[in-house]
Every structure is written in C-alpha cells, then in structure tokens.
C-alpha cells in the first residue's frame, strides 16, 4: 500500500543519543528482543528534524505507571520520535509475513520500531512501538515514515475503541517530525507511540512457516502462550492450545466490532494480533446507515473486507494461522490437519454465540428465548432496507416506543417494535434495568466519519487541534449521552458525501 516509491535508504540511519533524561517511570524488560535473531533485526529510529508533541494521552500514561510531569517539558517530544531512546529500550524491527488481499507476502516492520516492553508497577507487560520512526531492513521501497493525518486517526479511533470496551492497541502520543513525507501530496510527518499487549500477528507465524523453521514456530508458540494465554502455557499440546485460545478471542473481538459498526478495512493476516486486540488502524471507519456491504477503503474494490464480511474473513485468517501451525500441531500430518480443522470449524459457532449475546444486550434482553435471533435479524433487515442509522436506531429504540416519535415511522418498524415490546414484557426486569443494559451496549457517540475527517483536517492543515481534542474527549464516554452536543449524537446530515478512507501510508 505504498503509493509513492522513494529511493531505498542508502546508508544506515544515524544513531540517536541514548540519553537517560528523567526516568519517568519506564521499566523495560524486552523478552521479544531476547528471542533468536531470526525474529527481528536491531535498528534505531532515524532522528527527525524537529520533534514536537501534538497530542499526549495522560490517562494512559498514568495507567502505565508513568510520571505525567516528565512529559510536560518540550524536550520530552524527542523520546516520541526516537531522537532519544528511552532508558532500557532495545529497538528492533520485527519480522513477519502476511496474506494481503489473499496473497502471501514477506513483510516485517517497515516503518515501525519496537522500543521494547514496558512493565507497569502492577506487573503488566506492554509493547512500546514508534510507528513512522524511519526505515528498517523490511522497508522495501517505503520511506519508513508516516503522515500526521493517519497517525492522528489511529490515535483517535484506537482510543475510541478502548472507551467502547473493545480490546485494542492504545495510543500514547503523536509527535510531528518537522519533516515532510511525500505521498500523493507532501504531508507533515509524524510518529505515533503505540502501546500493545504485543505485536505478534498471524503473519508472524506465517513468516516462520514460510521459512520452514519449525524451531522458531515452537519458540514463538511458547512465547505467545506465556504472554497472552498463561493459563494454557502448560498444555501438553501447546500449538493446539494456542490456536483454540486465539480463535475464541477473535470470535469475541469480531462480535464487538459488529456491535458498534466498526469496519477494520484491511484485515490482512499481518493485521490480526494473537493477543485478540484490534490492531493496525488504516482505512477503518464506522458505519452510519446499517449495511453489511459497507466498504470505506479506497482500495477494497471487491468488498473483501466489507462490514458484514468480517466474521468470514476472520475465520479465513485463522485458517492461515492453523496452516502455519500444522508442522507443530501433531507429528502425523493427517492428525494435525484433523485437529486444525476442528478448531477452525468452531469459529462460526463461537462467533454466533458472542454475536447473539451482543444483540440480546443491545435489545435489552436478559432472558433467553429461541426466537431472539430472528427478532434481531428482523430489525437488522428493516434497518438495511430503510438505510436506518445503526448507532442511532439502537440507542433510541426505547424512546421510539410511541408511534408518533418513531422515525422513520413505517409499518414494518411498528410491527417489529410491537413484537419486541411483547418480548420485553416476558422478562421480569424493570424498564430502568432494560435501559441500563441497552445504554451500556449501544454507544451514543461513535467516531463518525464526517466528524473525524473535519477534526483531522483542522489539525493537519490548520494546525488547530482543539476540535480533535473535543472529539477525543467526547469519545472517551461513548455510552454517555448527557453533556454531548446533538452534532455528536446525530447521524451525519443528509447529503454528507460517503466517506473514502486511505491506507495510512
């Protein structure tokens, strides 16, 4: 997805200074850097002309056990572009491969550099990665850089996903570089500091499977189990235990995406994390009108990664993981295949279980009735046909109870509403409990495309970050409609052009 080809880096990046500065609470312990050389290459970020912090996530810094005071001086920006290396960091670029739009490719961190793993005071371990930090051995013809707009977009949307209660990588900071990046146009360059449970991807396993390196596959399996599935780490069948764990987490994750109308947009296997976190925010967007065929990415011509395709694509990606694990699943190939297939086949049922649970919550249903799935599907069908706004419809279902306030009031909706009201009457929970359940599962505020675009435009072309900060603050409380302006709660005004998103290169 590199649009403008630049010359490959001719010389090794200049070495940034390892200045300890203030410790700020960083505590690195870099288990991935200790893995054998085939897993990564050591590379320092390339220093930039003029580091400047444009957005910083104080609540996240606090939850990581970092001292916010350390980030108030202008010199702190140098750590978030890689001009200075945090004490204890051991920068590496990770090797990985992936299926991009169905085709196998060898990739690796071409513009992201993993500084290391920060241990929080409570013992949690997080990858700290600089995205856009300069070229690596895996940059191919890319410049190793990122533009400000896409980095702010990842910051805003990943934090919105977190606030929505969805597993995701987080964003600690965006710093501008003072250097232009050349894409279709010249854009301001920036570096995003990404915080993740890890950056181990389906494509990481595919990389070693592609090399036929079964030793590395085993090492990676153990490493991933210990890090993300400690309760499975002692299994007699580690590869199988890992596959099952990942399949379950992805089934849950995709159901979350569907619950809030999130379209990832580029679900290549290199963009699927074993941890179960949403990762690599490129051309992602949220649906306004409910439409399973919704596609926003300018390069997804065949709708491979359309909204409604996501469960199926997740299963496809997981099958690539299973394939990569085959050599270590069982010494006998037939037995390995049988096991892999069983686990992959379980994805559909797992996803539907999570999805139905989500739909029940969205409809305020505490009890379980056999017709619940059909009740939900009938509403979704109506929404699709009438192009109703996904977020708004669910959020306002109770308020729309009286026919005169039903919008758009049509016979199909009215009949559905009666059916639903009768269903609610068959459970004993009080109306207040129903509303509470619904409000906790139906966001009032999502990062609407038109609002995101406007905020990013103000920041990138007008150097005005106030709008972005306001949107970011509203998105921090997505289930809370109080205090929010109508502009944030309402669907885009009629006539708003359809959103097109671009890969963040």
273 part of the interface to ligand AMP, by CB under 6 A: no
- Token pair for residue 237? 């069948």
Q: Which letter does DSSP use for residue 192 in this model?
A: E
Binding site partner of 44, from Mg ion, ligand AMP, none, Cβ cut-off 5-8 A by kind: none
Contact 86, 127 (CB under 8 A): no
**One of 110, 188, 443, 478 touching ligand AMP (CB under 6 A):** 110
Binding site partner of 111, from Mg ion, ligand AMP, none, Cβ cut-off 5-8 A by kind: ligand AMP
265 part of the interface to ligand AMP, by CB under 6 A: no
DSSP 73-100: SGGGGGGGTTSBPPTT---EEE--EEEE
Taking the complex as a whole, the smallest distance from the CB of residue 4 to ligand AMP amounts, in Å, to: 9
In angstroms, the Cα distances linking 253 to 143, 196, 247, 277 are 32, 15, 10, 7
Of 109, 270, 280, 300, which is the active-site residue?
Answer: 270
Binding site partner of 109, from Mg ion, ligand AMP, none, Cβ cut-off 5-8 A by kind: ligand AMP
Cβ burial of 148 (10 Å; 0-12, 13-18, 19+) is: buried
- Residues in contact with Mg ion by the rule CB under 5 A: 271, 280
Q: Which C-beta is closer to ligand AMP: that of 23 or that of 500?
A: 500
In degrees rounded to 5, what are phi and psi of residue 195?
-115, 125
Residues 6+ positions from 154 with CB-CB distance below 8 Å: 131, 171, 192, 194, 281, 504
CA 291 to chain centre: 21
Nearest CA to 82 out of 218, 153, 173, 4 is that of 173
107 part of the interface to ligand AMP, by CB under 6 A: yes
1 part of the interface to ligand AMP, by CB under 6 A: yes
Taking the complex as a whole, the smallest distance from the CB of residue 111 to ligand AMP amounts, in Å, to: 4
Nearest CA to 20 out of 68, 123, 89 is that of 89
**One of 144, 149, 311, 327 touching ligand AMP (CB under 6 A):** 144
4 part of the interface to ligand AMP, by CB under 6 A: no
**One of 38, 233, 373, 503 touching ligand AMP (CB under 6 A):** 503
150 part of the interface to ligand AMP, by CB under 6 A: no
The residue number with the shortest CB distance to ligand AMP is 142
505 part of the interface to ligand AMP, by CB under 6 A: yes
Active site residues: 270
Contacts with ligand AMP by CB under 6 A lie at: 1-2, 107-111, 139, 142-145, 271, 280, 282, 503-505
């Amino acid at each position: 997805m590199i649009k403008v080809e630049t010359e490959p880096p001719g010389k090794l990046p200049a070495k940034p200074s390892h200045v300890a500065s203030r410790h700020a609470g960083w505590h690195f312990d870099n288990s991935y850097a200790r893995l054998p050389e085939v897993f990564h290459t050591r590379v320092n970020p390339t220093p930039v002309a003029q580091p400047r912090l444009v957005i910083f996530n104080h609540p996240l810094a606090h939850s990581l056990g970092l001292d916010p005071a350390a980030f108030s001086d202008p010199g702190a920006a140098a750590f978030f572009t890689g001009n200075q290396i945090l004490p204890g960091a051991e920068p590496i670029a990770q090797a990985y491969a992936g299926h991009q739009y169905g085709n196998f490719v060898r990739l690796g961190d071409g513009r992201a550099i993993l500084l290391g793993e920060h241990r929080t005071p409570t013992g949690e371990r997080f990858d700290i990665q600089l995205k856009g930090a300069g070229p690596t051995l895996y940059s191919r013809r890319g410049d190793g850089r990122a533009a400000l707009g896409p980095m702010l977009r990842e910051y805003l949307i990943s934090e919105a996903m977190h606030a929505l209660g969805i597993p995701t990588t987080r964003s600690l900071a965006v710093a501008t570089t003072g250097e232009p990046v050349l894409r279709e146009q010249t854009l301001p360059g920036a570096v995003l500091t990404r915080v993740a449970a890890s950056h181990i991807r389906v494509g990481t396993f595919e990389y070693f499977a592609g090399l036929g390196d079964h030793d590395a596959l085993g090492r990676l399996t153990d490493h991933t189990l210990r890090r993300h599935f400690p309760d499975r780490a002692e299994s007699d069948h580690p590869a199988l235990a890992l596959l099952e764990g990942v399949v379950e987490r992805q089934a849950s994750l995709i159901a979350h995406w569907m619950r809030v109308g999130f379209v990832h947009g580029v679900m290549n296997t290199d963009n699927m994390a074993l941890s179960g976190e949403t990762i690599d925010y490129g051309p992602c967007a949220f649906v306004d009108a409910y439409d399973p065929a919704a596609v926003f990415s300018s390069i997804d011509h065949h709708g491979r990664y359309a909204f409604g395709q996501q469960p199926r694509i997740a299963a496809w990606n997981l099958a690539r993981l299973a394939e990569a694990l085959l050599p270590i699943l069982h010494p006998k190939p037939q037995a390995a295949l049988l096991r892999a297939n069983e686990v992959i086949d379980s994805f559909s049922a797992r996803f539907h279980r999570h999805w139905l649970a989500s739909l029940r919550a969205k409809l305020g249903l505490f009890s379980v009735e056999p017709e619940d799935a059909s009740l939900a599907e009938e509403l979704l069908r109506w929404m699709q046909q009438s192009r109703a706004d996904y977020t708004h419809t669910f959020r306002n279902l109770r308020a729309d109870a009286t026919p005169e306030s039903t919008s758009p009031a049509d016979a199909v909706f009215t009949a559905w509403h009666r059916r639903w009201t009768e269903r609610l009457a068959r459970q004993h929970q009080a109306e207040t409990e129903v509303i509470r359940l619904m409000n906790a599962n139906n966001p009032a505020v999502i990062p609407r495309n038109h609002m995101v675009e406007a905020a990013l435009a103000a920041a990138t072309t007008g150097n005005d970050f106030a709008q972005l900060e306001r949107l970011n603050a509203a998105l921090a409380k997505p289930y809370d409609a109080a205090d929010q302006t109508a502009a944030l709660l309402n669907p885009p005004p009629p006539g708003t052009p359809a959103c097109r998103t671009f890969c963040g290169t």
